[in-house]
Structure 1
Amino acid sequence: MVKKRRRRHISPLQRRLMALVIILSVFVGLTLTYKAIVRPPQLEGENGAGLPASSQAFSSAEQALQDADQLALAAKAAHSARKSDFYTILVSGVDDGNGGSDTNILVAVDAGAGRIYGVNIPRDTKSRINGKNYKFNAAYNLGGMEQAAETLSGQLGIPVDYTVEVSLKAFSALVDAIGGVDFNIPVNMDYDDPIQNLSIHFTAGTRHLTGAEALKVVRFRHNNDGTGYGSEDIGRMKTQQDFLKAVAKQTLRPANLTKVSQFAKIFQQYVKTDLELGELAWLGQEAFSMGADNVNFSTLPGEWHSPYIYLNADEVLGIVNEYLNPYVEDRVLADLNILS
């Protein structure tokens, strides 16, 4: 006769403890997975050139040269030592119908100081590309985001760590995803372009904009009769900055944390970048923690002399060191390459 095995009795307390252990195990597993995926952007050679290993024996002349080399390398390393959690990202809107990048903003994410600063690069900025003079927005057409980043880095004397190429459809989709944006339209807008099938008609004042409407507002440069901002691209950049500030205020609210997956879907569909998904998640997390009040914009200062905008080197240097410089040590005019 087979003896029946007695079933072990589990008390309600034991069941609760077991459930708690399972929940904690799942939580720890998810936390470890999250930390493994979500991480700060990884930069190569962050702290500049290292010093060479010491040699065994040198003549006095050789030693003097070695010492001079050591000092030069030390100075170079000091000049390129980076701030912690500081990243520069070139964001370009490229669907302007002309093959170039119509909107270019260098965004400095300073997670250490808890702020984000974006600087518009005027599309007509005089730039040197492959030995010839061009307007800055031609860089994308000549070599994509890599060329645009290289051109801007050469002018400002700082690295462009990452690039984000945005279809204007992404802009429209994001605005719709956050439920539209209340925005004060600065001027009356009456413009028609049959070639692009584009009609922009708005009265100045505050209104709630859908994604499609917002796209028209930020693309507007002048009216059919030539009136409008009076300074076309400069006026348009100011509107873009004000609108992006409004978008940041609307997006970086706790309520929108539930829409992260929707934002990610928009990003995957319309955006090209060399940032990895976990790095983007980290940057988004930092942006939410900073809040919209710590997101600001400006424009590289310069003057229009047909056919280019000529940047003011001294004023640009001030903006670089105040907001955009990822290095511990300030840049100097010799680090910049501003064309006259």
Structure 2
Amino acid sequence: MSAKLRVVVVGAGPMGRTWLRTIAGNDDVELAGIADLAVDVADQAADDAGHPGLPTGADAIELARRTNADAIINVTVPAAHHPVTTAALLAGYPVLGEKPVASTVAEGLSLAACAELTGRLFMVSQSRRYFRNLFLAKRQAEALGRIGALSVEFFKAPHFGGFREAMESPLLLDMAIHQFDAARFMLDADPVSVMCEEYNPAWSWYAGDAAATAVFEFEGGARFTFAGSWASPGFETSWNGSWRISGEHGTVLWDGDREPTAELLDGAGSAVVGARADLGPIADPGTETAGSLREFVAALRTGAEPMGRVHENVLSLAMVEAAMRSARLGRRVAIDEVLGESYETALATEANEDVLRVLKSWPSVRAGLGAARRA
């Protein structure tokens, strides 16, 4: 590996340009090239980022080889996540990819098996895990004892235009995965089942359902409640949402931006407002994409386990698929129902015989994901 991690960014749209700025701010990373099916768009992105003459091309793997890149950052549209990441892993390149891991859980399972096959890291940039105050809220929650309820409210009114306003389930598909993933991080547990309802306010400018309420059961019995809308003007929440963690010894509140606060019970059972446990030092995970890029580099250089390894991240997308299924069917949906059907789909549709062999070697989908996560 180079003294600096040389990366090719695949995708030169708005999010790709965000990653170009993130790379420019990391002294351990060097931009080797930009790939996009529209090469002129890649050329323009390079010029705008202050890299005139930077190598570009339509084929990410050819470009990575031509530029002696060390890794690939996949910032394509979700439908391209699976083919682009698969090609990169099979070509020997570690990949940092934008969320979601893939368009479907079945494709996510294929990518997990491909990463096992090649021995290359595939990490998903679940960027909203990378906030120091989220880590602080998680640490404060450790003083609460057993957690009974975790809830988040997410209410915004963005006018995106474009594909989001035409999507069938814009809130669940494009945004809620951030809060679902953060809930897994907060509880340090995996989801068991969900009951969800989607709806669209009468004044909504979205074609699909822009609002949803979901209640997840987690391992250990805790409940996670998500309530949100993308058509809710006034008193908007943080993009991270507004959180409450309720446990046997008190409550932690986090508005999504500022430091969280805790109200704990003292030995006599009286509330101590604003009390904080002896937390010790809180690691700074970095912020959003800068944090995930930093962790990706550290994982490649040291072998440390990153938060977003594909096997770990698939369950966050499974929460989204389960919530959408619950809303459509009007019943509680088990996460294992989604995982099991996705596993069968992955087995039936996998085109690469070696990847299929890895998938078939898993005793079950949970065992396959869990064993790799513990390795």
Q: Using structure 2 for the length normalisation, give the TM-score.
A: 0.24
Whichever of the two has the greater Rg, that structure is 1
Comparing both chains, which one has the higher relative contact order based on Cα–Cα distances under 8 Å and sequence gaps of 6 or more? 1
